[in-house]
Amino acid sequence: MQNQTINANDVNTWHDTADVIILGYGIAGACAALEAKRAGADVLVVERASGGGGTSATSSGYFYLGGGTAVQKATGDEDDADNMFRFLATSTAAPDSDIVKRYCDGSVEHFDWLEAQGVPFERTAYREKTLSTLTTECLTSTGNEKVWPYRDIARPCPRGHRVAMAGDAAGGKAMEALLGQCASENIRTSCDSQAIALIVDAGRVVGVRVRQYDSIKDLKADKAVIIATGAFGNNPAMVAKYAPQMQGNTYPIGIPYNDGAGIELGISVGAATQAMQNVMPTASFYPPGQLLKGIVVNNRGKRFVAEDSYHGRTASFVMEQPEGKAWLILDAEIFAYPELEMFGHSLVDGWETVEQMEAGLKLPPGALQKTLTEYNRDAAAGEDRRFFKYKDWLKPLDKAPYAAFDISFQKSTYFFFTLGGLKVSARAEVLDANGTAIPGLLAAGACACTIPQDGKGYASGLSLGPASFFGRIAGQQAAQAARRD
Amino acid sequence: MQNQTINANDVNTWHDTADVIILGYGIAGACAALEAKRAGADVLVVERASGGGGTSATSSGYFYLGGGTAVQKATGDEDDADNMFRFLATSTAAPDSDIVKRYCDGSVEHFDWLEAQGVPFERTAYREKTLSTLTTECLTSTGNEKVWPYRDIARPCPRGHRVAMAGDAAGGKAMEALLGQCASENIRTSCDSQAIALIVDAGRVVGVRVRQYDSIKDLKADKAVIIATGAFGNNPAMVAKYAPQMQGNTYPIGIPYNDGAGIELGISVGAATQAMQNVMPTASFYPPGQLLKGIVVNNRGKRFVAEDSYHGRTASFVMEQPEGKAWLILDAEIFAYPELEMFGHSLVDGWETVEQMEAGLKLPPGALQKTLTEYNRDAAAGEDRRFFKYKDWLKPLDKAPYAAFDISFQKSTYFFFTLGGLKVSARAEVLDANGTAIPGLLAAGACACTIPQDGKGYASGLSLGPASFFGRIAGQQAAQAARRD
């Protein structure tokens, strides 16, 4: 899919005109629409599906927010914007400090705004370690805040704010509220419409060409076009090009429209991209949380990650190991099956001795014994002197029989979504390779690269959170943009 | 340069035989030779130059060591192996924890060993901020220990141990001592000899083919071959292939033999490589240290790095900025010319107001004013809330006139050396893509990738330090290897 741009002079008929045209009606698009409309702009949302929601509506419904939100205050979890900044500025691969700072400084206000739109959040917390909660409790730790070295850099604090809806896909509840708000404010939409090209005039984006059923329509944007489309995990060609490691037994998370179409549109007018090779992978071996007391080793019998890492971080490290191989090692005291069967972690076997386990896993002779000797000594002393796993998860693994689950990349099923996208400023401007904003073009949501940039630093809620936050900023910026005559 | 391997069956005559053959007589090779010989092995060193020394002999003579060395104790700089590990495990891009741990745990002993070989170190410290000292003082801070977030992760401690020799290239003094030791222990050498192929027998490295003047000779290694050659900065084709960012106005540091020949030899027998794209770049704007009180901004008028970072870290960040552009911004109170003229930092101009400076640098209107307003407010309050520059370097930049030095990549001259190399274990074994040791082959020194892995985490002394340390381990391992019949 190679996009051509259309020159405005070549447009015969403008089929419709708005101040602000928004491509994509997921959470970034909906938030952009609300803010642009409220700032007085005439808004038109172009959406490929027959209605709004996008991948956001299918998501787990976490917003990564902090700095002292109403929920954090209610649950007694002390946080402040500086503390949140210290965490995100170091856990993000190549942070733009303006983007991170703006997000942290605006986080409390953004939470209040979401609630004001009708997105429901309880004043409760969920304190267990899990992949994704299915209850209505709100605040939970969804990242690496307590993982070393982050806990030494910023005071750990839970920041995952889950929408109050029981069951999976609580993101749908958020979208229901936001789309309802859009409808009540008469946001115009053009559904079943795919943007196929940007229309430019002397270097400025002034509109978009869309295909709606069998018609081609040219839509004029007097102020700005906002790309608010999805990631590209469902575009095999783009995955093969940008993130070729995600082949084989891997499975993209999200809806089929996550095909990178908006990213390609941005590239067609000279946009730079960022972190296109990076994904958030997961093949979580927890819940249950007790499995974090096990150790994870590679095909050399060596540990390589703090096992209490967020599941995306652990999966990212597994993928870097020789042959992508890794096993979760347990003893009888903590043995349990990983709850989430979709990842296909298989029990290799049980063994009476570490020597037998080592042989059964075909590890180099003595390697696993050496690893366990050191780990058990450290665990008994209450400090993991190699990866600094948090003390709550430390216990000597010395109660036979032992067991191992194969959690290798390719052997287990790794789910993922892509994290790369258009390079943007903290004002949601789309930037070219020189760092210059492309006139008339803004972007937010999964098509843009803001705070989550790689699987090692990802936290649940870093998709909906920045998407909604910078979606709002895009809407505000677009409404303020100089009108094109 | 594509290396073919030679099958041992195709060797007609073995021109010489040793237990251990070492390729390269820089610091890794010399240390390997001493340890192998002392463990009872017959050692032959193959060196392309007419004598030993290599790039090590031309270096500044820093060893990055800690954990409580005799010098650290004498100067009152408290350190321990765990503290050193916490720093290196987080400042190294993709650390192998065995490698880092072994280095930290063995650092004190290694310092003593170096002294015992006659490498001289004073019990003194140099406390100013500089690129490279020219005096005999020993201990100095040569990395990012005090730079955030590292200072929150590990207690900052100086670990650069400089060889006691006045003037540049104190590494020569270290090599003089080590080569003298080698000579007194009758280490055999074959100088003016270039290794052109490894000789293999059923997957095991059993020798090396060398060219000496016009002769081709096949040398038999009964126990192991140790590759202890240099980096590849002086091989334009390899730089273009692996580190293409280092083109144009860049200049490799080191001797011409840094052409990656040893890395290619390793690759020819299936070795994996690591961090081949990474370099240690420098275009240091300090000394004088007072310039760290300035700020560095990109072409958007924004800061992007803590200005008190080690110069390699700062240069690495500059290279990532749009168009590689960056300026050092100073006010009248701290104005000085960067001392090191070789980098070619040019004074752009002086201006009476920030507005004029912004216009003079062609920055977006208001951008630099905004940056300085925030920075000056933070500096006055004693905390840089964006990059957490250490308080000693904070002062409001508000004394007109102002000045800016252009420190852009390509505009200034960036010197560099490459950091990528053969993937090795903590036992100096050369590893293949599966993490399996290639029988009969070890590596140490700049041709191998151990602790320094990128310019952001580099510290002076992380070349000689790990090269000498893992050189010793390679020698010990080689001497212990099973004899080939």
User: How does pLDDT run across B286-297, given as a tens digit for each residue?
Assistant: 999 999 999 999
pLDDT of residue A128: 83
> Are residues B294 and B232 both part of a single domain?
no
The C-alpha R_g of chain B, in whole angstroms, comes to 24
- The answer for B167, left when phi > 0, alpha when psi is -120 to 50, beta otherwise, is left
Structural element, H or E, at residue A195: strand A193-201
> Are residues B60 and B199 both part of a single domain?
yes
Q: Nearest CA to CA, how far is A316 from chain B (Å)?
A: 12
Mean pLDDT of A175-194: 98
> Are residues B258 and B239 both part of a single domain?
yes
Q: Which of A2-16, A284-298, A356-370, B54-68 has the lowest mean pLDDT?
A: A2-16
Both tokens assigned to A102: 């703006």
- B320 contact residues in A (CB cutoff 8 A): 94
> Are residues B161 and B221 both part of a single domain?
yes
In a domain, A275, yes or no: no
Going by pLDDT thresholds of 50, 70 and 90, the confidence category of residue A482 is confident
- A97 contact residues in B (CB cutoff 8 A): 302-304, 386-387
* Tally of CB atoms within 10 A around A9: 9
* Tally of CB atoms within 10 A around A397: 21
Query: Which range of residues forms the domain containing residue A393?
Result: 284-412
Separation CA B485–CA B477 (nearest Å): 18
> Are residues B2 and B129 both part of a single domain?
yes
CATH number (domain holding residue B337): 3.90.700.10
Q: Do A322 and B98 touch (CB under 8 A)?
A: no
- A386 contact residues in B (CB cutoff 8 A): 97, 101
> Are residues B337 and B458 both part of a single domain?
no
pLDDT of residue A130: 74
Check if the beta carbon of residue A398 is closer than 8 Å to that of residue A331: yes
Best mutation target among B103, B297, B302, B361 (most A Cβ atoms within 10 Å) is: B302
A383 touches chain B (CB under 8 A): no
Closest in B90, B388, B431 to A149, CB measured: B90
* Ranges under pLDDT 70 in chain B: 1-2, 485
Q: Nearest CA to CA, how far is A18 from chain B (Å)?
A: 29
- B434 contact residues in A (CB cutoff 8 A): 299, 322-323
A·B CB contacts under 8 A: 61
B226: which strand partners? B22, B442
pLDDT of residue B132: 78
- Decide if pLDDT at A485 tops 70: no
> Are residues B274 and B207 both part of a single domain?
yes
> Are residues B402 and B429 both part of a single domain?
no
Query: Could you report the per-residue pLDDT of A321-375, keeping only the tens digit for each?
Result: 999 999 999 999 999 999 999 999 999 999 999 999 999 999 999 999 999 999 9
- A101 contact residues in B (CB cutoff 8 A): 386
For B148, nearest residue in chain A (alpha carbons): A153
Query: Could you report the per-residue pLDDT of A371-414, keeping only the tens digit for each?
Result: 999 999 999 999 999 999 999 999 999 999 999 999 999 999 99
- Decide if pLDDT at A2 tops 60: no
Check if the beta carbon of residue B30 is closer than 8 Å to that of residue B57: no
- A298 contact residues in B (CB cutoff 8 A): 435
For B95, nearest residue in chain A (alpha carbons): A304
Separation CA B27–CA B32 (nearest Å): 8
In a domain, A259, yes or no: no
Going by pLDDT thresholds of 50, 70 and 90, the confidence category of residue A111 is very high
Q: Do B385 and A82 touch (CB under 8 A)?
A: yes
pLDDT of residue A484: 73
Going by pLDDT thresholds of 50, 70 and 90, the confidence category of residue A280 is very high
Find the largest Cα–Cα distance for chain B.
Answer: 79
Q: Which of A249-253, A395-399, A480-484 has the lowest mean pLDDT?
A: A480-484
Both tokens assigned to B469: 């340390």
B209 touches chain A (CB under 8 A): no
Both tokens assigned to A434: 């020189």
Q: Which of B412, B432, B465 is the last residue of a domain?
A: B412
ipTM: 0.91
A309 touches chain B (CB under 8 A): no
A435 touches chain B (CB under 8 A): yes
B91 touches chain A (CB under 8 A): no
In a domain, A152, yes or no: no
- A388 contact residues in B (CB cutoff 8 A): 86
SS3 annotation, chain B:
CCCCCEEHHHCCCCCEEEEEEEECCCHHHHHHHHHHHHCCCCEEEECCCCCCCCHHHHCCCEEECCCCCHHHHHHCCCCCHHHHHHHHHHHCCCCCHHHHHHHHHCHHHHHHHHHHCCCCCCCCECCCCCCCCCCCCCEECCCCCCCCCHHHHCCCCCCEEECCCCCCCCHHHHHHHHHHHHHHCCCEEECCEEEEEEEEECCEEEEEEEEECCEEEEEEEEEEEEECCCCCCCCHHHHHHHCCCCCCCEEECCCCCCCCHHHHHHHHCCECEECCCCEEEECCCCCCHHHHHCEEECCCCCECCCCCCCHHHHHHHHHHCHHHCCEEEECCCCCCCCCCHHHCCEEEEEECCHHHHHHHCCCCCCHHHHHHHHHHHHHHHCCCCCCCCCHHHCCCCCCCCEEEEECCECCECEEEEECCEEEECCCCEEEECCCCEEEEEEECCCCEECCCCCCCCCCCCCCHHHHHHHHHHHHHHHHHCCCCC
For A153, nearest residue in chain B (alpha carbons): B152
For B274, nearest residue in chain A (alpha carbons): A320
B22 CB-side CA count, 13 A = 38
Q: Nearest CA to CA, how far is B285 from chain A (Å)?
A: 23
Q: Do B94 and A321 touch (CB under 8 A)?
A: no
B284 touches chain A (CB under 8 A): no
pLDDT of residue A168: 86
Query: Could you report the per-residue pLDDT of A82-109, keeping only the tens digit for each?
Result: 999 999 999 999 999 999 999 999 999 9
In three-state secondary structure terms, A251 is strand
> Are residues B465 and B373 both part of a single domain?
no
> Are residues B254 and B312 both part of a single domain?
no
CATH number (domain holding residue B242): 3.50.50.60
- A436 contact residues in B (CB cutoff 8 A): 322
A304 touches chain B (CB under 8 A): yes
> Are residues B260 and B296 both part of a single domain?
no
For A456, nearest residue in chain B (alpha carbons): B94
Check if the beta carbon of residue B331 is closer than 8 Å to that of residue B402: yes
A91 touches chain B (CB under 8 A): no
Q: Nearest CA to CA, how far is A326 from chain B (Å)?
A: 12
- Decide if pLDDT at A1 tops 50: no
pTM for the whole structure: 0.94
A386 touches chain B (CB under 8 A): yes
B435 touches chain A (CB under 8 A): yes
Separation CA A50–CA A347 (nearest Å): 44
For B149, nearest residue in chain A (alpha carbons): A153
From first CA to last CA, the distance across chain A in angstroms is 32
> Are residues B393 and B424 both part of a single domain?
no
User: For chain B, how many structural domains are there in total?
Assistant: 2
